[in-house]
Amino acid sequence: MNPPLVPRWLGLAGLLPQLAAAAVVFSGDGPLHFSALSMGYAYAALILSFLGGLWWGIAASQPNPPEWLWVAAIAPSLIALGSAVPWATGQPWPGPSLLILGVALIGALAVDLVLARRGLVPPWWMSLRLPLSLGLGGLTLALGFA
């Protein structure tokens, strides 16, 4: 089932910042290379945290949500924060942090899949979440290897 038009287009538009960062990074080692990596990192961290907020909202909308969902809902923000530790401590950055975020964004599909199987999200949920998580996660991993 296709998602409604507005979330579909807004979701797909949400890939544009990471596509722009990747375009700059892979166009060569110009003066914007590190800035594009940094912006790609920031965007991936923001969206990962946003996913946690979505899951929190889903849990809050249910009369008896599964307790694991509350934990899953805070994990993305903690992962995003933890991925900043190398930067904060002067370790190699942003490559390793981008890899962590890319894996987490793709791994988030596991939570979405369980939510869909339990009927806690609209029937079209996975048809939106799958391309968005694979797209953003894949682009973020590509930036991490750049």
- pLDDT tens per residue, range 56-73: 999 999 999 999 999 999
Residue 69 lies in a domain: yes
Number of domains making up the chain: 1
Per the domain annotation, does 14 fall within a domain?
A: no
Residue 54 lies in a domain: yes
Please give the full DSSP string across 56-86, using - where no structure is assigned.
HHHHHTSSS--HHHHHHHHHHHHHHHHTTHH
Number of other residues whose CB lies within 10 A of the CB of residue 16:
10
Q: Is residue 133 part of a domain?
A: yes
Does the residue 86 lie in any domain? yes
**What is the pTM (predicted TM-score) of this model?**
0.95
pLDDT at 92: 84
C-alpha to C-alpha distance for 115 and 54, rounded to whole angstroms:
11
pLDDT in tens, 9-19: 999 999 999 99
State the Cα–Cα distance between residues 131 and 18, nearest whole angstrom: 14
pLDDT recorded at residue 29: 83
pLDDT tier at 93 (50, 70, 90 boundaries)?
confident
In b/e form, how buried is each residue of 82-91, taking b as 16+ CB within 10 angstroms? ebbebeeeee
User: What domain range includes position 136?
Assistant: 40-145
Whether residue 73 lies inside any domain: the answer is yes
Query: What is the percent of the chain with per-residue pLDDT over 70, rounded to a whole number?
Result: 100
Interatomic CA distance for residues 141 and 65, integer angstroms:
32
> Average pLDDT for residues 139-146, to the nearest whole number?
97
Is residue 103 in a domain?
yes
